[in-house]
Amino acid sequence: MLTRRCRMLDCPYISVMSYPNAGLSEQDWRRRVIERLRVLADRAERAGVTLLHENSAGWAGGNADRTLELLAAVDSPAFGVLFDIGNGVAHGYCPFDTLMTLVDRVAHVHVKDAVEGPRYTLPGEGSARVRDCLRLLLDNGYRGSFSLEPRLGVVPHGVGRHTPDAAARFADTGIALHRLMHETLALWCR
């Protein structure tokens, strides 16, 4: 059903994560994640879509070395990396350092920024090093899309209630990203 909708919308990617641990040993957790994602990647390949593993929760979510291990173990052209710049702040790791390891495998980017808490901010106003991440991606040949995931006007993974200024905050996020991209591209083109 989802893959059919992806084809209808010309959407080549589906975001996935590597499952939270439900009391499994490290070895069993790793094994189950790899088994599940191999099956899903096989299905995705047959359906003509690509699964993109996000640097978020789960076995390989916040660990670049595990992400590389997962990519090698799944070993499918229908399996890649979705890098969310703000997730490192929320999950306690440096997004830039993680991106340095994964940059050649990134197929799509979510842009958000945050400070400790996490409390989400406009791109460039938090501690996720958004500008540095954008530059690193461009320097390494990334030519894909950037999606906004601001979380400024909605409670993430909560009841979905929007703040009264959600639309304005989303627009502000787009303007901030546009400014950062303009500055980054101006420096990059020199």
Residues 166/154, Cβ–Cβ less than 8 Å: yes
Ramachandran angles phi, psi of 55, nearest 5°? -75, 75
Q: Which pLDDT belongs to residue 164?
A: 66
Q: Which pLDDT belongs to residue 154?
A: 57
Q: Smallest Cα–Cα separation from 148: which of 131, 171, 125?
A: 171
Q: Which pLDDT belongs to residue 160?
A: 56
Q: Which amino acid is at 186?
A: A
Alpha-carbon distance of 187 to 134, in angstroms, equals: 11
Q: Which pLDDT belongs to residue 72?
A: 98
Q: Smallest Cα–Cα separation from 54: which of 23, 90, 28?
A: 90
Q: Which amino acid is at 176?
A: A
The distance in angstroms from the start CA to the end CA of the chain is 47
Alpha-carbon distance of 173 to 167, in angstroms, equals: 10
Find tokens 């106003």 and name the residue.
125
Q: Which pLDDT belongs to residue 129?
A: 97
pTM across the whole model = 0.90
Task: Name beta bridge partners: 162.
Answer: 154
- Which of the residues in the chain have pLDDT under 50? none
Q: Encode pLDDT of 76-110 as tens digits.
A: 999 999 999 999 998 999 999 999 999 999 999 99
Q: Which pLDDT belongs to residue 85?
A: 96
